[in-house]
Amino acid sequence: MTRPTTPVLLAALLTGLLTAGGALAAQADQVRASQAWIRVLPDALPAAGYVTLRNDGEQPAILRGASSPAYAQIMLHRSDTSSGMSHMSMLDRLAIPAHGQVALAPAGYHLMLMDAATPVKAGQTVTLTLRFDDGSTLATDFLAKPANAQ
């Protein structure tokens, strides 16, 4: 094994500096959340969370998931009804393009909220913490609405 040469050390140092620079413009800081709501379902059934995410930054923001003390598990999902069949699949990541927006909305992207710690009731506000690719987070208040909300 050889010792790291000066250029390698310099590169490592630069990478560290860039990462530090990147942290200043955290993905979560570029994103604004609006129209955040939850469609509440009875009993222990999984519910869906919806939110519109606008990215005002120069770089894409990558949503990786969410967490909340209110739910044991939250998964990023996408419904697909294009074939006449309705199907849900799990997503690892959802990119919000620079100067763009992505709507998590019924029959499309949504957060699947599972195993509520205590039953969530319509009218309540539940805080979900959205997590981005760089580890930055965005706490967002979601309004719980009844199952048959239009």
Partner 1 sequence: MTLPRVRRRLLLPLLLAVTLVAGLALGACHRDEPLPWRLTNIGGHMPDLAFRLTDDGGKPVTAADYRGKVVLLYFGYTHCPDVCPLTLAHLHGVLQRLGAKADDARILFVSVDPARDTPAVLHAYVNAFDKRAVGLTGAPGAIEALSKRYRSAFTREPGSADGSYEVSHSSAIYLFDQAGHARLLATPAASSDDLVHDLSLLLDTGARP
Specify the residue for token string 């419904």: 79
C-alpha triplet 131, 44, 87: angle, nearest 5°: 65
Q: Site size for partner 1, by CB under 8 A? A: 28
Q: Which of 11, 14, 88, 139 binds partner 1 (CB under 8 A)?
A: 88
Residue 72 is a binding residue for partner 1 (CB under 8 A):
no
Residue 35 is a binding residue for partner 1 (CB under 8 A):
no
Give the up-direction half-sphere exposure of residue 47: CA atoms within 13 A in the CB hemisphere: 29
Rounded alpha-carbon distances, angstroms, from residue 41 to 17, 56, 70: 47, 33, 14
Binding segment for partner 1 among 3-11, 23-31, 38-46, 64-72 (CB under 8 A)?
38-46
Residue 22 is a binding residue for partner 1 (CB under 8 A):
no
Q: Which of 22, 106, 123, 135 binds partner 1 (CB under 8 A)?
A: 106
Residue 146 is a binding residue for partner 1 (CB under 8 A):
yes
Q: Identify residue 69 by its one-letter amino acid code.
A: P
Residue 87 is a binding residue for partner 1 (CB under 8 A):
yes
Closest contact distance (angstroms) between CB of 113 and partner 1 is 7
Q: How is residue 35 written in tokens?
A: 């129209």
- Residues whose CB falls within 8 Å of the CB of residue 3, separated by 6 or more in sequence, listed in order: none
Residue 86 is a binding residue for partner 1 (CB under 8 A):
yes
- Residues whose CB falls within 8 Å of the CB of residue 71, separated by 6 or more in sequence, listed in order: 113, 114, 115, 116, 117
Per CB under 8 A, residues contacting partner 1 are 39, 41-43, 45-48, 77, 79, 81, 84-90, 106-107, 110, 112-113, 146-150
